Amino acid sequence: MFDKILIANRGEIACRVIKTARRMGIRTVAVHSEADADALHVSMADEAVAIGPAASAESYLVIDRIVEACRKTGAQAVHPGYGFLSENKAFAEALAAEGIAFIGPGPWAIEAMGDKIASKELAAKAGVSTVPGHIGIIQDADEAVRIAEEIGFPVMIKASAGGGGKGMRVAHTVEEAREGFASAVSEAKSSFGDERVFIEKFITEPRHIEIQVLSDGETCLYLGERECSIQRRHQKVIEEAPSPFLTPEVRQKMGEQAVALAKAVDYKSAGTVEFIVDADRNFYFLEMNTRLQVEHPVTEMITGLDLVEWMIRIAAGEKLDLTQDQVSLNGWSIEARIYAEDPFRNFMPSIGRLVRFIPPEEQAGHVRVDTGVEEGGQISMYYDPMVAKLITHAASREMAIAQMRMALDEFYIRGISHNIPFLASVMSKERFVKGHLTTNFIAEEYPDGFHVADLPPDDPTVLVTVAAVVHRMHMDRDAHISGQHPKHEKKTPEDWVVRLGDTNHPVRIRMRDDGAFLIHVDDEDVVMQTAWRFGQPRFFGRLNDAPVCVQIDREGVGYRLFHAGAQARAVVMTATAAGYAALMPKKAPPDLSRFLLSPMPGLLVRVEVEVGQEVKAGERLAVVEAMKMENVLKAERDGTVKSIAREPGASLAVDEVILEFE
């Protein structure tokens, strides 16, 4: 076994590998860019080596610097995590030349499966079902249109070296095929340094289901499947294991084909074979990821296996000590990806400092949090916007969903925008609860984007009750501080009005001898038990014996409450004050329709219009790059460009003016 390994990655996956290595008694080396000097993975590792500037192309993607860090620290092996150099044949070969073990498959398997075109050809030879399409390099937009018309719309344009949803576009028309080809090529070149793209048939009502494989070069196992159909812009958002759609017979067939492909490339390590599955449970090979997947924790939760540990053991020459018959799938596990993005602003990236970061408490076998950040840390514009992965595990899918909804309520993040409200909304959708999933789920359930109205309908009793209890506790404390002890002098009033948003809720609140609160609200009597203390940002309690968690921030004379993805301002006042508050005028927001504002912090790549140019609604105006993704900004109305405020190459803040219309 290795004495010391280097993790050629950052963030949550670097921390994840360090945890397993530490448990195995292996020392670890972290590498970091200038932007990550104070990152969590750096402080967790036994040693750390700086490898360059913030940009990935000058640090995490520079093979020579990783190899030099191994020489400098004496690391005997390298775990690449996912992304960056994890599927880079040249990296594996460079390590081998230095006598350093690569904790992953051999260079040939990486090369064969990393090229989507070559991998489809190999899959077909191995007897694996493949998607109909044009397996060849597309030279230009005209050829892309011609091939798309031959295959039949809709089609998927995909980067050959792609991954993570980058360099992928769906086209339903000739115009979309032209634009999609140009965008896919541009994004593929900037993300992977490889502008080759190909086209295949886009399957309607598809599910994205993948098989986890584990091989020591002799024994090859499949460890069940993961359902990864909840995606946005081809990026997975929620994953689960097993799939609510597969039958045992289909699972076995998919697993056997995945193993056949792994054996065809002499695979050694953990890997994933991805399939697209249609409504009739016909499945087709998509690609093989020759690395650890982001969503690997759900497989670990239902199998009890540590995939990182087995990757390390196999790289060290050990053999698997179990057979396919011994692989059992127990219970249900769900993973939700917490991203630094604003779902109410079309999921635009959010950067900044994590002023507060309090994840749910981990419970062995039930709730797990994989993260690479900590309170006070910085979410940078240079890297992927993932903040954490939240994983739950229970005996049934229904229980795992309930556990996830509670854990999302507990996840307290301040300083940046995040997608927890969106995740809470997805979890509440009847279609999700019933397991009726496709990769079109988000597009179909949120056709006009994500809005406050999409949040799960929440019983206002929860927020009203919490506000009343917290206010009562403050009033009792104030009475003690002023010397007006309720027992001897002034009693705390029992009748109040909780103004939640624009709605008044009369309440009567009393305290029982056992410390529980009796509340009459909206013609209903409820009981709240809690051990909440002043200053705690999360209110844990039992409402009529059902557990609840509400995040609570003091805001002036009121409270900002967060629950089930929604938030509301609550003010507790007398009936007279509540009547006056309802009459207060509201300030109208300023008219910003004449301006094109940057929806996110990022780099202004291109301005595609000139001063004096007339534009039509839907026309491209500018391109902003943030967190490795290009975002095209289009005109929302017809108009004439009056002035251009920023030039290409400028760094933009959120809501910064790019141009103005007359």
Q: Which residues are catalytic?
A: 287
Please state, in angstroms and as integers, the Cα–Cα distance from residue 557 to each residue in 24, 389, 474, 565, 637, following that order: 52, 35, 11, 23, 41
Nearest to 207 by CA among 438, 457, 552, 464: 438
> Exposed e or buried b for every residue in 392-420, given b needs 16+ CB within 10 A?
bbbeebeebbbbbbbbbbbbbbebbbbbb
User: What's the CA gap between 625 and 601, in Å, rounded?
Assistant: 9
**The residue to which tokens 């398997």 are assigned:** 109
Query: Do 563 and 589 meet the contact criterion of CB atoms below 8 Å apart?
Result: no
- CA dihedral sign, ordered 418, 420, 423, 424: negative
- CA dihedral sign, ordered 131, 132, 137, 140: negative
> Exposed e or buried b for every residue in 254-266, given b needs 16+ CB within 10 A?
bbebbbebbebbe
Query: Do 412 and 551 meet the contact criterion of CB atoms below 8 Å apart?
Result: yes
H helices then E strands: how many in the chain? 17, 39
* DSSP 8-state class, residue 135: -
CB contact set of 252 (below 8 Å; sequence gap of 6+): none
In the Cβ-directed half-sphere of 235, how many Cα atoms lie within 13 Å? 15
Tell me if residue 559 falls in helix, strand or coil.
strand
Tell me if residue 470 falls in helix, strand or coil.
helix
User: What's the CA gap between 301 and 403, in Å, rounded?
Assistant: 14
Nearest to 472 by CA among 532, 525, 523, 524: 532
Nearest to 126 by CA among 261, 289, 263, 262: 261
User: What's the CA gap between 306 and 319, in Å, rounded?
Assistant: 15
Query: Do 60 and 31 meet the contact criterion of CB atoms below 8 Å apart?
Result: yes
Query: Do 27 and 3 meet the contact criterion of CB atoms below 8 Å apart?
Result: yes
Please state the separation of Cα 337 from the chain's center in Å: 3
Query: Do 87 and 114 meet the contact criterion of CB atoms below 8 Å apart?
Result: yes
User: What's the CA gap between 266 and 213, in Å, rounded?
Assistant: 12
Can the peptide bond before residue 506 be classed as cis, meaning omega within 30 degrees of 0? Answer: no
∠ at Cα 109 (104, 114), nearest 5°?
Answer: 95
* DSSP 8-state class, residue 133: E
Strand partners, 570: 500, 559
Report which residue type is found at 393: H
Phi, psi of 172, rounded to the nearest 5 degrees: -105, -15
